[in-house]
């Protein structure tokens, strides 16, 4: 199994978290977005959108972080812990995958990309959207430990990385105690792996 991504990519990282939780080994290959390698033909042959990450599992190639999470859960999680097949729980978790791809992507993630890689953004508007997103998450987590099912699921893995890295987009997590406690609970999991900006607990 090969994961094409980047060490600073929150979307790559969420896939790494699930692979660790599933006990799956992967050959990680860096695609240097700072030099535009994700737009070169050798990468767009894997993902025509020119984005990261991309997972190659034998004859199967999957791109889009949320799609990769679903693929891995269906392919390798026989216990259905990460994405149950029951319609209600599955719908609830998929809703958070959409939240990760929309609200988080265009809020905390975009702010981080603006400051980290110089991605153009109307930063005041992006910060306002990010604070709204963080507020929604904080309200959800005020009375629960995880987003769904009282345990870590794909919902948490899809949403946590780019939220935890929000300070790199000049967004403080201090006003969101529920979010901060949630991140710490996930960092305490035995399958947690670190990335730059999101280190393991000591």
Mean pLDDT of 174-179: 98
Residue 97's pLDDT is 98
Per the structure, the complete domain to which residue 57 belongs is given by: 2-76
* pLDDT tens by residue, 5-19: 999 999 999 999 999
b or e along 89-103 (b: 16 or more beta carbons within 10 Å of the residue's beta carbon)?
bbebbbebbebbbeb
Residue 106 belongs to domain with CATH number: 1.20.1050.10
Residue 2's pLDDT is 98
Does residue 14 share a domain with residue 72? yes
50 and 37 Cβ atoms separated by less than 8 Å: no
Q: Which of 54, 76, 98 is the last residue of a domain?
A: 76
- Residue 200 pLDDT level (bands cut at 50, 70, 90): confident
Does residue 106 share a domain with residue 52? no
From CA 161, how far away is CA 179, in angstroms rounded?
Answer: 12
Q: Where are the beta strands (DSSP E) in the chain?
A: 2-5, 27-30, 54-57, 60-63
Does residue 98 share a domain with residue 58? no
Whether 202 shows a pLDDT value over 90: the answer reads: no
């Amino acid at each position: 199994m090969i994961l094409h991504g980047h060490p600073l990519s929150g979307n790559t990282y969420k896939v790494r978290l699930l692979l660790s939780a599933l006990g799956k080994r992967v050959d990680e290959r860096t695609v240097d977005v700072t030099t535009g390698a994700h737009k070169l033909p050798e990468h767009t042959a894997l993902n025509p959108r020119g984005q990261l990450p991309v997972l190659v599992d034998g004859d199967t190639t999957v791109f889009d972080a949320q799609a990769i999470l679903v693929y891995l859960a269906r392919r390798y999680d026989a216990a259905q812990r990460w994405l149950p097949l029951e319609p209600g729980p599955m719908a609830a978790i998929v809703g958070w995958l959409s939240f990760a791809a929309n609200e988080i992507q265009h809020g905390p993630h975009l702010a981080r990309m603006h400051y980290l890689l110089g991605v153009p953004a109307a930063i005041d508007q992006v910060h306002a959207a990010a604070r709204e997103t963080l507020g929604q998450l904080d309200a959800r987590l005020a009375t629960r430990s995880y987003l769904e099912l009282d345990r870590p699921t794909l919902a948490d893995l899809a949403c946590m990385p780019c939220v935890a890295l929000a300070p790199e987009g000049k967004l403080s997590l201090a006003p969101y105690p529920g979010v901060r406690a949630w991140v710490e609970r996930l960092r305490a999991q035995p399958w947690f792996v670190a990335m730059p900006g999101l280190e393991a607990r000591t």
